[in-house]
Amino acid sequence: MTRARAWLAPALAIALAAATAARPEAKGTPLSEPRPDGPVAPAAYGWLLDHFVVTVDLPGGGHESRFDYADLLTETDQAKVRGHVRERFLAVDERALEPAARTAWAINAYNFFVIDTVLDHYRNEAGDTLKSISDIGSKPFAVFDEPLIPVAGTTYSLNRFETHFLFHDVDRKSGRAPAGLDPRIHFALVCAARGCPPLAAEPYRAETLDEQLDAAVENALRSPRQLRLEGDTLHVSRIFDWYAADFGGAEGVRAYLTRYAPEPARERLAAGAAVLPDLEWDWSLNRPL
C-alpha cells in the first residue's frame, strides 16, 4: 500500500499544551542575492523550508512540523520563487548523479512538489481552505496518481516518482524489497498530512544524507503519531505495515525499532513487547493549527 492509499482516519488527539512553535521571520527573497545553489538542494528551496516550516517541540523530546502555506501565499514573489525552485529541480540529469546525491535530490523534489501542489489548491474559488491533500483531484487521493513531474521525457505522478527514484521500482505486491532499498526514506518523505513524519526544516544533501536520514527516523519515532507505548505493547505507524517488506518483515521491523526508537521503547522491545502497526493516520493538512 502506498502512503496515498491509506484509509482516511480520524485525527489523533495529541496534547501539545507544552509545545513551542518557531519560524524565522520571512524577509527578502532568495532570488535577490547570489547564494550557493544546485539542483539537488536549490537555495530557494532551502529558503522556503527555513521560513515557512513551523517546528513544534514535543514534551517528550523531538518535534513535529507544519508548513505555513497561507503565510507563503502572502509573499509578493512566491509564484516566482516556486517557479524557480521547480526549474532547478527539473534541470538535473539524475542519471549523472552519485547515489547519495540522487536520493537527496529525489527526496527534496518529492517534498517540494507536494508543497507546490497544495499551494496551487490551497483556496478554492469560494475562498475555502483546503482541508486535506486527499481532496485534490477528481476522487479521494487522485492527486498522487496524476502526471505531475516531468523528468527526462517522462512525466511522473507523485507515486511513480517515489517508486522509481527512491524505491528501486519495487513491486509492492511481491512482498519483497529490492537490494539496496533504504527504508529510512519513508521518514523523510512528507505527503502534506499531519500523520506523515515531520518535514525537515532544511534540504537533504548528499554529503550529510546518512546523518539526516538517521535523524529523521529518530525524531519521527519520538512523536505519538508514529510510536506510542501502552503497557507491554508498542503501537507504531502504519508505515511499518504498508511497507513491512522494506524493513525485512516483522522481525526486521523489531530490529529497526530496537535501533531507532527512544530508550523506553527499546527497553520494552528487549523485554518482549508486542509491536502493532496500528496507529491511525491523520490525513488533515499539515498546516499550523
Q: Which three three-digit cell numbers place residue 52?
A: 515557512
From CA 183, how far away is CA 188, in angstroms rounded? Answer: 10
pLDDT tier, 12 (very low <50, low <70, confident <90, very high otherwise): very low
- Would the pTM of this model clear 0.95, i.e. be above it? no
pLDDT tier, 3 (very low <50, low <70, confident <90, very high otherwise): low
The residue type of 209 is L
Tens digit of each residue's pLDDT (9 = 90 or more) over 198-249: 999 999 999 999 999 999 999 999 999 999 999 999 999 999 999 999 999 9
| Helix 209-220 × helix 249-260 angle, to 10° | 100
User: Which whole-number Å values give the CA distances from 90 to 14, 43, 119, 200, 213, in the listed order?
Assistant: 38, 14, 19, 21, 23
- Residue 25 confidence (pLDDT): 55
Cβ atoms within 10 Å of 43's Cβ, excluding its own: 18
Q: DSSP label at 243? A: T
Cβ atoms within 10 Å of 264's Cβ, excluding its own: 11
From CA 162, how far away is CA 105, in angstroms rounded? Answer: 11
The owner of cell 482516519 is 9
From CA 158, how far away is CA 109, in angstroms rounded? Answer: 10
Question: Minimal CA–CA distance to 68: which of 182, 178, 201, 195?
Answer: 201
Radius of gyration of the chain (CA): 19
> Of all residues in the chain, what percent carry a pLDDT higher than 70?
88
